[in-house]
Chains A and B, each alone.
Chain A
Amino acid sequence: MIESAPPISLRHITRRFGPVVANDDVSLELAPGEIHGLVGENGAGKSTLMRVLYGLLQPDSGTIEVAGRAVRIHSPAAAMRLGLGMVHQHFMLVDSLTVAENVTLGREPLGALGSYSPAAAEREVAALAARHGLPVDPGARIETLSVGAQQRVEILKALYHGARVLILDEPTAVLTPQEVDDLFRVLRELQAQGTTIVLITHKLAEVTALAQRVTVMRAGRVVGGGAIAEHPVERMAELMVGHAIPPLHARAHHEECVPLLRVRLLDVLDDRGLQAVKRASFEVHSGEIVGLAGVEGNGQHELVECLAGLRRAQHGDILIADRDCTALTARGRAAAGLAHIPSDRLRRGLVPEMTLAENLVLGRQREPDAGHGPLLPRRALEARAAGVLAEYDVRPPEPGRQARQLSGGNQQKLIAARELSRGAAVVLAAHPTRGVDLGAIAFLHQRLLRERDAGRAVLLVSSELSEILALSDRIFVMYEGRLVHETRPAETDERTLGLHMTGRRGAVAP
């Protein structure tokens, strides 16, 4: 356990995907026991570099040294043997297995008869979890866990397999502020035990808070980096995008007009059949952004899915532009004027094996202007896609490329491009900027504001309170399935919202 992490150096790594040079002569040193921030715009090559280090990708050229010895890392298994562990941007757990089974997979503890012993596995995992301050229930199935808990399982898995160098690819993108705090506590603890940590993130403040050194990437190359003291947030941002990012301008407040989305006394169940949304009633007017704040898992997800027609309402009704849509399917609601940026981009928002052009028509494949009669010609789709991809700066803007080949942030931009370019009266935006870089966040925020200014009704769900506060005209707080608080950005702050979100202020709404 005390054995310290090996120093690691990546030298002149180059990795191409067709014409795209994802890593262009990249060199990176990881000192034992440091926390190293890795930042850069979407598509800069951060995930690619770490996947090379973890043996998921082979570099076209360049070398890797671990503890001073040149090594070839053919597979994640080889990486594990070298003491490397990785927590991916998109988790890689087996949903139907338990925590202990997932953690021990590949190195299961054996019982008396040489067979897999669930009890032994659970005991070992419990001990490991306790040692590192990672609270999880070893016997729980993955599918029943929150995102934060799944991430702890991923970390445990890496540690169980002996990781002394831990790579975390955008670990905080999907976490609530509370979970982020918990994660940082764990990471500091791991560092104290000598673990080296690579932290990829778009939230530069996290790098400042946690890391000792930082590396900044842009367009596949390292463009700067060094001691964190010499790299304040503004400096990192400038290196990343090549220029300073203008702050979001305070917006002129709009007169509320007609209600475009009306929800009355809505009850919705979650996947386990428990009541996730309890008697939710609210309206979103044209020319208004309504923010929905809440700790993840308090019913926001189920509420949005129900509004989008992907989950049944047990009770209550939903009106879009004065039309009762409660009984309509997802397609019916889209036709009635609903756009939806879903929170889970790989499960809901994209068909990763389809092309960018095909993904841009998802949800609109039946609309008359998408094709001619029953036809949906590939060429026409691609021609139309080119403009949208350029406008939303999806990189690379090649309509014929598969969506799975995009970097995480660019996948998110692709979905936002599709939903915001359709001119729907009501926009449901669940975590619209999750995993996108600073420049793209600013751009998407402008876009949401523009939707509002065009007289649309936007429901914004986000775990970023700063985002909610910056964009919303009105804010609801959701707690345990109920809308417990309504306020305006000028009348509140993150702390007050936080108290309502954790149920420490009495219920206000009915």
Chain B
Amino acid sequence: MNVDLRRRLLLGAAPLLAVALSLAVGAIFILAIGQDPLAIYALMLRQSLGTGYGLGQTLFKATPLIFTGLAVALGFRAGLFNIGVEGQLYLGGLAAALTGVALAGLPAVFLLPLALLAAAAAGAAWGAIPGVLKARFGAHEVINTIMLNFIAFALASFIGRFVFEPATVRTATVGAGAEIARLDVFLPALHGSPVNLSLLLALLVAAGTNLLLFGTRLGYELRAVGLNATAAEYGGVSLGRTQVVAMALSGALAGLGGVNFVLGYKHYFELGFSAGAGFLGIAVALLGRNHPVGVVVAALFFGALSYGGLVINQQVPKELVEVLQALVILLAISAQVLMERFARRMR
């Protein structure tokens, strides 16, 4: 086999190796608490993928991760580390809910697009802020996106004081026109699971992101800035403008991630709904090697892991799943480095 192909295979195998290794290490933990790892894993697998309901739950959990994974990946491609995905998703969800409530009377053809637009716009605006700060003042986006997460949480609580239902931490229910239909309406096998058409939207958006990155002028400039900023500048790309656009796009993707829960499941916004989906997006992008296809696969994996974690809650503490997730992240990074070193050897 020729060296090039072997190298590519090695690099492609890194995420799989990471997953396998983390399961192996996880097995040691399970053994340590006196359980049978194989049985636990089998249970996880069966419950999260083996039944229609479980599959639906897994897909439901994976949906926002596709959006947030794409958001982080797009930022990375432009050389920007967007840690603010959590806050962008949060505000996206809030904006979708407020739109759905305020214009509740509109029919679905108007209301749903408007609510989606509001989610994307809110995320984009929240993402653009650190983009502008970086482009104008050189302020590092990592710091600013982290800070903006806290501000987003506080902002949502503050707005909530005026719009939440009395004595609750949630908004009113959105108009029927803003609801995103559940998949079990079309696929009875998924009965009872909250997976909804947001999943389809996520897949479309992933395809769109792929096209954007690899088939458009803007995507070309984004990648050029990420790979070699000085050469991009030479090529007539405005670094600042591209950074702002990239952060806004990244934020828009994250914002859209909020609709899965808000419009597709509960039909209202409630405090704390994001539950780490934004942060997990970083891991998803990492495992998916910042490629939209990889992101979708990685999101499904993390989705299965988090739902599988719920079902084994009886046998093992749910912290185990968090340990597993952390292991995957750690190992995904180290496997990548290892494989790259291997591949370099072969160069």
A and B associate: yes
**Do the beta carbons of B216 and A363 come within 8 Å of each other?**
no
Among listed B101-109, B234-242, B286-294, interface-contacting one: B234-242
B3 at the interface (CB under 8 A from A): yes
Interface size class of A (residues with CB under 8 A): 35 or more
Report chain A residues within 8 Å CB of B346.
Answer: 58
**Do the beta carbons of A17 and B4 come within 8 Å of each other?**
yes
A141 at the interface (CB under 8 A from B): no
**Do the beta carbons of A351 and B215 come within 8 Å of each other?**
no
Report chain B residues within 8 Å CB of A171.
Answer: none
Partner among A19, A56, A348, A351 whose Cβ is within 8 Å of the Cβ of B227 = A351
B230 at the interface (CB under 8 A from A): yes
Which chain B residue lies CB-closest to A366? B217
Partner among B230, B231, B237, B345 whose Cβ is within 8 Å of the Cβ of A58 = B345
Report chain A residues within 8 Å CB of B86.
Answer: none
Partner among A16, A351, A354, A374 whose Cβ is within 8 Å of the Cβ of B218 = A374
Query: Which residues, 188 to 222 on B, are CB-close (under 8 Å) to A?
Result: 214-221
Q: Mark A326-370, 1 if CB is under 8 A from B, else 0.
A: 000111101000001010000111111110001001110110001
Partner among B4, B224, B231, B234 whose Cβ is within 8 Å of the Cβ of A308 = B234
Query: Which residues, 300 to 343 on A, are CB-close (under 8 Å) to B?
Result: 308, 310, 329-332, 334, 340, 342
A377 at the interface (CB under 8 A from B): yes
Partner among A56, A348, A377 whose Cβ is within 8 Å of the Cβ of B230 = A348
**Do the beta carbons of B2 and A330 come within 8 Å of each other?**
no
Report chain B residues within 8 Å CB of A370.
Answer: 217
Which chain B residue lies CB-closest to A342? B234
Which chain B residue lies CB-closest to A359? B231
Chain A nearest CB, measured from B13 CB (Å)? 19
- Distance, CA A377 to CA B2, complexed state (A): 29
Chain B nearest CB, measured from A352 CB (Å)? 7
- Distance, CA A153 to CA B220, complexed state (A): 37
- Distance, CA A363 to CA B236, complexed state (A): 6
A235 at the interface (CB under 8 A from B): no
- Distance, CA A16 to CA B236, complexed state (A): 36
**Do the beta carbons of A375 and B216 come within 8 Å of each other?**
yes
A259 at the interface (CB under 8 A from B): no
Which chain B residue lies CB-closest to A334? B236
Given A331-B236, A376-B217: A347 in contact with B3 (beta carbons within 8 A): no
Given A358-B220, A378-B214: A310 in contact with B231 (beta carbons within 8 A): no
Task: Please tell me the number of chain B residues within 8 Å of chain A, measured between CB atoms.
Answer: 28
Chain B nearest CB, measured from A281 CB (Å)? 25
A145 at the interface (CB under 8 A from B): no
**Do the beta carbons of A330 and B233 come within 8 Å of each other?**
yes
Report chain A residues within 8 Å CB of B231.
Answer: 347-351, 362
Which chain A residue lies CB-closest to B230? A347
Report chain B residues within 8 Å CB of A118.
Answer: none
**Do the beta carbons of B234 and A375 come within 8 Å of each other?**
no
B228 at the interface (CB under 8 A from A): yes
The prevalent SS among residues of A at the interface is loop
Report chain A residues within 8 Å CB of B345.
Answer: 58, 74
Chain B nearest CB, measured from A78 CB (Å)? 12
Report chain A residues within 8 Å CB of B236.
Answer: 329-332, 334, 363, 365-366
**Do the beta carbons of B228 and A352 come within 8 Å of each other?**
yes
Which chain A residue lies CB-closest to B345? A58
B232 at the interface (CB under 8 A from A): yes
A57 at the interface (CB under 8 A from B): yes
A62 at the interface (CB under 8 A from B): no
Report chain A residues within 8 Å CB of B4.
Answer: 17-18
Q: Mark A119-148, 1 if CB is under 8 A from B, else 0.
A: 000000000000000000000000000000
Report chain A residues within 8 Å CB of B214.
Answer: 378
A371 at the interface (CB under 8 A from B): yes
Given A57-B347, A365-B217, A366-B217: A310 in contact with B233 (beta carbons within 8 A): yes
Q: Mark B129-166, 1 if CB is under 8 A from A, else 0.
A: 00000000000000000000000000000000000000
**Do the beta carbons of A374 and B217 come within 8 Å of each other?**
yes
- Distance, CA A371 to CA B218, complexed state (A): 12
- Distance, CA A352 to CA B234, complexed state (A): 14
**Do the beta carbons of A18 and B233 come within 8 Å of each other?**
no
Q: Mark A359-395, 1 if CB is under 8 A from B, else 0.
A: 0011101100011001111100000000000000000
Report chain A residues within 8 Å CB of B220.
Answer: 358, 361, 365, 376
Report chain B residues within 8 Å CB of A365.
Answer: 217, 220-221, 224, 235-237
A363, A365, A377 pick with most chain B CB within 10 angstroms: A365
- Distance, CA A460 to CA B214, complexed state (A): 35
Q: Mark A26-70, 1 if CB is under 8 A from B, else 0.
A: 000000000000000000000000000000111010000000000
Which chain B residue lies CB-closest to A345? B231
B267 at the interface (CB under 8 A from A): no
B223 at the interface (CB under 8 A from A): yes
- Distance, CA A60 to CA B2, complexed state (A): 10
Partner among A16, A74, A349, A376 whose Cβ is within 8 Å of the Cβ of B234 = A349
Chain A nearest CB, measured from B106 CB (Å)? 30
Chain A nearest CB, measured from B224 CB (Å)? 5
- Distance, CA A330 to CA B221, complexed state (A): 14
- Distance, CA A233 to CA B278, complexed state (A): 65
**Do the beta carbons of B217 and A371 come within 8 Å of each other?**
yes
Report chain A residues within 8 Å CB of B228.
Answer: 347, 350-353
Report chain B residues within 8 Å CB of A366.
Answer: 217, 236
Partner among A18, A74, A332, A347 whose Cβ is within 8 Å of the Cβ of B2 = A18
**Do the beta carbons of B218 and A362 come within 8 Å of each other?**
no
Given A366-B217, A374-B216: A17 in contact with B3 (beta carbons within 8 A): yes
Report chain B residues within 8 Å CB of A371.
Answer: 216-217
**Do the beta carbons of B215 and A378 come within 8 Å of each other?**
yes
Report chain A residues within 8 Å CB of B224.
Answer: 351, 354, 362, 365
Further pairs besides A18-B5, A342-B234, A353-B227: 13, Cβ < 8 Å:
A56-B347, A74-B345, A332-B236, A334-B236, A348-B231, A350-B231, A351-B223, A361-B220, A362-B234, A366-B217, A371-B217, A375-B217, A378-B214
Name 11 A/B residue pairs within 8 A (Cβ), A-sorted: A16-B3, A58-B347, A331-B238, A334-B236, A340-B234, A342-B234, A347-B228, A362-B231, A365-B220, A365-B235, A366-B236
List the 8 shortest-distance A-B pairs measured between CB atoms, nearest first: A331-B236, A18-B4, A362-B235, A363-B235, A348-B234, A351-B228, A330-B236, A376-B217
